[in-house]
Amino acid sequence: MSGHHSIGRLCETMLVSRSGFYDRRRRRQTPGPRQRANLGLRQRIRTAFEQSRRTYGSPRLARALGCGGSRNRIARLMRVERLRARQRSKFRVATTDSRHDGPIAPHRLIGVTPHALNEVWTTDVTHIINPHPPGPATPKKQFPISFSS
DSSP string computed for the chain: -TTTS-HHHHHHHTT--HHHHHHHHHHHHS--HHHHHHHHHHHHHHHHHHHTTT---HHHHHHHHT-TT-HHHHHHHHHHHT--PPPPPPP----------S-----TTTT----STTS-----------SS--SPPPPPP--------
| Confidence (pLDDT) at 45 | 94
Is residue 98 in some structural domain?
A: no
pLDDT at residue 99 greater than cutoff 90: no
Query: Is 55 found in the same domain as 24?
Result: no
Distance, C-alpha 8 to centroid of its chain? 54
Question: By mean pLDDT, which of 23-27, 59-63, 96-100 is the weakest?
Answer: 96-100
- Contact assessment for residue 1 and residue 21, using Cβ atoms and an 8 Å cutoff: no
Is residue 122 in some structural domain?
A: no
Query: Is 57 found in the same domain as 14?
Result: no
CA separation, residue 29 to residues 23, 77, 100, 116 (Å): 10, 21, 67, 91
| Confidence (pLDDT) at 82 | 95
| Confidence (pLDDT) at 149 | 52
Query: Is 25 found in the same domain as 37?
Result: no
| Confidence (pLDDT) at 111 | 86
Which one is predicted more confidently, 134 or 71?
71
Query: Is 41 found in the same domain as 67?
Result: yes
- Nearest-Å Rg of the Cα atoms of the chain is 37
pTM of the predicted model as reported, rounded to 2 decimal places: 0.48
Is residue 115 in some structural domain?
A: no
Q: In total, how many domains does the chain have? A: 2
Q: Express each pLDDT in 43-54 by its tens digit.
A: 999 999 999 999
| Confidence (pLDDT) at 30 | 84
Which span out of 62-66, 90-94, 133-137 was modeled with the highest average pLDDT? Answer: 62-66
Query: Is 81 found in the same domain as 37?
Result: yes
Is residue 18 in some structural domain?
A: yes
Is residue 148 in some structural domain?
A: no
> By residue range, what is the domain housing residue 25?
1-30
Is residue 83 in some structural domain?
A: yes
Is residue 4 in some structural domain?
A: yes
Q: Residue 77 CB: number of other CB atoms within 10 A?
A: 20
